[in-house]
Amino acid sequence: MEIFQDRIKDAEEAVSRLKDSVKEHQWRLRYHVVPPAGWMNDPNGFCFYKGEYHLFYQHHPFGPEWGPMHWGHVKSKDMVNWEYLPIAMAPSEDYDKDGCFSGSAIEKDGKLYLIYTGNVWIDGKEDEDLKQVQAIAVSEDGIHFKKLAGNPVIEKIPEGDINKYHFRDPKVWKHEDFYYMVLGSKTNNNTGQALLYRSKSLLDWEFVSVMAKGEGNFGFMWECPDLFELDGKDVLVMSPQGMKPEGNKYHNLHQSGYLIGELNYQTGELQYGDFHMLDHGFDFYAPQTMIDDKGRRIMVAWMDMWESVMPTQTSGYAGAMTIPRLVTSSNGRLYTTPVPELQQLRKTLVEHQHVTVAEETWLDGVHGDCFELITRIDIRNASSFGIKLRVNKETGQETVLQFDKQSGKVTLDRNKSGTGAGGTRETEVTMHKNLDLQIFVDKSSVEVFINRGEKVMSARIYPDEQATGVFFFADEPVKLTELKKWDL
């Protein structure tokens, strides 16, 4: 216990030393959850506890790169105004000495339980010879945690075709009389899979089954699985590592997506349909969902990608969360849209109606580097049209969202976005008469919601501060039936 408290104190001190210097940085996101200083990856323990949203995250407090994992912690009443809380977890025990890896949170008898993976490197080799176990920390106030004396609660990896090293990222939920846990895993010959456990007490866990396993091009390891019920179906969200590109899909280093199906709680088997991606941009990984007091399923993800260039690292911090997204389903697909609470951020409104756009057009008052833009485009006879964001005409910087009517494709191009990685990402969207767009721009991010969450594209971009232009373009005139833009 003492070691744990000392480790938290060291971590807190490291963050305090750095945090003032990163505060006003040009690329620091203004309305997204970002680390106070240091490094952030996966969302963890996203939950609604005693009337507030709690969000934890994989955190390295001692520097802007990945390192021994702690759990950072923020909470909020509205998912808009987040309050930084003390670091919740630090490596301190034999079973988690090299990191408190990803996991989830659940309330039981008024207490908040964090269920996470304890990581230990054996012989210093990072990809094999590691020991991963599942452990629990508990809190009475949702802020200060104690690791259970009985940890780890799952130590032995089950028999069968289950890799002995990679065994992590527990997500726990309650169904009828049992708690269930889904874990990320892989087979001995590197096929991603998810394992199912169950428990009456939350403390003693029994292995049920390999709940689902990839076939074909489905990654060598599934990280961060999350299972939940939505509209009478069971949804498995997970992040497969290493799927090969197929057409315009799977071009990021690792993917995140979902399967919709039915979980047989007796056999532990998930019958499922096709795999679909949750975001079609560049920077989206390890999403985690929670259900709030209004019964809404809400998701956040890490808005970055492993091994990607992160230009803020030279300034002492890296990593961000996406805005919280409401998850709904329709016709066998998930839709994700910004939670309505974000409307609180809206400041000055600029509005235009029935504007015709031909060639390249800018609109009075429509520019910025921290805004929300909603527009409905009447496509008319155009075959190619779109929006350029974060434009600087002098330097040629721009981030381009381009639609192609014939192919039904949308492309997000960040080749001229500034510093950082370039590239394009592409996906299909429904394009009949109209197209609906809702775009969130924050200092170094763009999140595009197309047709009310049919497709979403997220990207980190690092333009210079003068790149604030917004331009609409079209090969044949299109009409912006309505356009609203708010500074945030």
Binding site for ligand FRU (CB under 6 A): 41-42, 58, 69, 101-102, 117, 168-169, 184, 223-224, 285-286
Using DSSP, state whether 382 is helix, strand or coil: coil
CA angle 357, 396, 392 (to 5 degrees): 70
Length of the chain: 488
CB-based contact 330:279 (threshold 8 Å):
no
User: Smallest distance, Å, CB 54 to ligand FRU?
Assistant: 18
What's the farthest any 2 CA atoms get from each other in the chain?
69
User: Smallest distance, Å, CB 279 to ligand FRU?
Assistant: 15
Look up residue 405 and give its DSSP letter: T
Q: Which two tokens stand for residue 3?
A: 């070691």
Handedness of CA 124, 127, 131, 134 (dihedral sign): positive
CA pair distance 411, 377, nearest whole angstrom:
16
Query: What would the DSSP string read from start to end of 293-307?
Result: TT--EEEEEESS-TT
Strand partners, 284: none
Catalytic residues: 42
Nearer to ligand FRU, 98 or 426 (CB): 98
CA pair distance 88, 422, nearest whole angstrom:
35
Please give the backbone phi and psi of residue 157, each rounded to the nearest 5 degrees, phi first: -80, 135
Nearer to ligand FRU, 69 or 366 (CB): 69
Nearer to ligand FRU, 223 or 226 (CB): 223
Burial class (CB in 10 A: 0-12, 13-18, 19+), 233: middle
User: Smallest distance, Å, CB 25 to ligand FRU?
Assistant: 23
User: Smallest distance, Å, CB 254 to ligand FRU?
Assistant: 8
User: Smallest distance, Å, CB 99 to ligand FRU?
Assistant: 7
CA distances (Å), 26 to each of 128, 295, 421, in order? 39, 37, 18
User: Smallest distance, Å, CB 317 to ligand FRU?
Assistant: 16
CB-based contact 114:103 (threshold 8 Å):
yes
Start-to-end CA distance of the chain, whole Å, equals 43
User: Smallest distance, Å, CB 347 to ligand FRU?
Assistant: 34
- Comparing CA positions, the residue from 152, 265, 247 lying closest to residue 203 is 152
CB-based contact 363:354 (threshold 8 Å):
no
Using DSSP, state whether 232 is helix, strand or coil: coil
User: Smallest distance, Å, CB 44 to ligand FRU?
Assistant: 8
All residues at 6 or more sequence positions from 127 whose CB lies less than 8 Å from its CB, including other chains: 165
Please give the backbone phi and psi of residue 29, each rounded to the nearest 5 degrees, phi first: -70, 140
Nearer to ligand FRU, 142 or 287 (CB): 287
Nearer to ligand FRU, 286 or 446 (CB): 286
User: Smallest distance, Å, CB 332 to ligand FRU?
Assistant: 27
Location of structure tokens 């505060």: 23
CA distances (Å), 238 to each of 215, 257, 286, 428, in order? 15, 6, 7, 22
CA pair distance 132, 149, nearest whole angstrom:
17
